[in-house]
């Protein structure tokens, strides 16, 4: 019988590509270090805007199926073997941007019963028994209904899993410190003439930007920058990565910095130090509890 990895990381995301943009370097680093990295994606992104002209015929279920293949390619680039769709492929569909009629589709994730959706995630939690959960903040990072719902479902599932016998010791939200974002956009502005993008986004277009003091963990993924860029390129319907991998653009064609160092805010659990450089800091991997709580 294969021995269970001592470190187990669970990430919950809304659509294929969100994981690579937000956490690609972190996922690659932990996978390379022998941790079990599990990704749960809540929808297939069937309502995403498609960038390449040759793929713009894709829409609805056909786009979802294509994006599922993109997700598999991205996970291969990151070295992640365990990736799943919440409740199985097609259980919940993309809800579209906030305020659109798509939000009213009874099959979309935004309309899902939170407890019902959370129970699907609890099944994964009780199987994998992660010590660390990563997801979005209560605004989903930038207000997309599927991101907000992913936050609600992930946090509710953490509560239900605790009741069922597996309290997740540490829960983090994706973050970017404002000073880091500002510096990166300043450099991007200088480099813009050499990039394939004519305009740049602004700092507030980046999900999860907060005051620096809210950051509790920094994961230096510099060694995995190429893997992150490759994973993002795999999501070709949604992302264009510039040559060199230092910037990218979504369907709005506005350049953004590609961060190889990724940042987090601990919202549940005990920090392993004043500024963690390891999401598992302070944990006893054998017990799945903080060192101070181990029996």
What is the Cα–Cα distance from 230 to 225, expressed in whole angstroms? 9
149 vs 115: CA distance, rounded Å: 11
Does 151 carry a binding-site annotation? no
- Residue pair 115/124 in contact by the 8 Å Cβ criterion: no
Return the beta strands (E) in the chain as ranges: 8-13, 36-41, 82-85, 132-135, 170-177, 199-200, 209-210, 217-220, 240-241, 247-249, 254-257, 261-268, 283-284, 289-290
Are the C-beta atoms of residues 210 and 264 closer than 8 Å to each other?
A: no
Distances (CA, A) of 292 to 61, 110, 270, 272, 278: 48, 39, 9, 10, 17
Q: Any binding-site annotation on 15?
A: yes
CA distance 10 to 89: 18
Q: Is 18 annotated as a binding residue?
A: yes
Contact criterion met (CB below 8 Å) for 161 and 169: no
Q: Is 119 exposed, middle or buried (0-12, 13-18, 19+ CB in 10 A)?
A: middle
Binding residue numbers for Zn(2+): 15, 18, 147
Binding residue numbers: 15, 18, 147
């Amino acid at each position: 019988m294969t021995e269970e990895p001592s470190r187990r990381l669970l990430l919950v995301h809304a659509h294929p590509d969100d994981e690579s943009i937000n956490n690609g370097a972190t996922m690659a680093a932990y996978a390379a270090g022998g941790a079990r990295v599990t990704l749960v994606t809540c929808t297939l992104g069937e309502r995403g805007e498609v960038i390449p002209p040759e793929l713009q015929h894709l829409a609805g279920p056909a786009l979802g199926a294509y994006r599922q293949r993109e997700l598999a390619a991205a996970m291969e680039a990151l070295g992640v073997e365990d990736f799943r769709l919440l409740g199985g492929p097609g259980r919940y569909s993309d809800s579209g941007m906030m305020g659109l009629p798509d939000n009213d589709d009874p099959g979309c994730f935004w309309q899902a019963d939170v407890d019902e959706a959370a129970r699907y995630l609890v099944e994964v939690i009780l199987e994998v028994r992660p010590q660390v959960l990563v997801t979005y903040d209560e605004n989903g990072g930038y207000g997309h209904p599927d991101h907000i719902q992913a936050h609600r479902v992930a946090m509710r599932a953490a509560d239900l899993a605790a009741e069922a016998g597996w309290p997740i010791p540490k829960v983090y939200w994706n973050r970017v410190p404002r000073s880091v974002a500002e510096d990166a956009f300043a450099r991007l502005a200088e480099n813009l003439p050499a990039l394939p993008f004519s305009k740049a986004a602004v700092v507030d277009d980046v999900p999860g930007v907060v005051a620096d003091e809210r950051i509790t963990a920094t994961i230096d993924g510099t060694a995995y920058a190429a893997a992150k860029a490759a994973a993002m390129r795999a999501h070709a319907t949604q992302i264009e990565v510039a040559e060199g991998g230092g910037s990218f653009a979504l369907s709005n064609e506005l350049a953004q910095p590609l961060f190889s160092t990724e940042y987090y805010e601990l919202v549940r659990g005990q920090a392993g130090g004043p500024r963690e450089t390891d999401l598992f800091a302070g944990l006893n991997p054998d017990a799945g509890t903080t060192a101070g709580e181990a029996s």
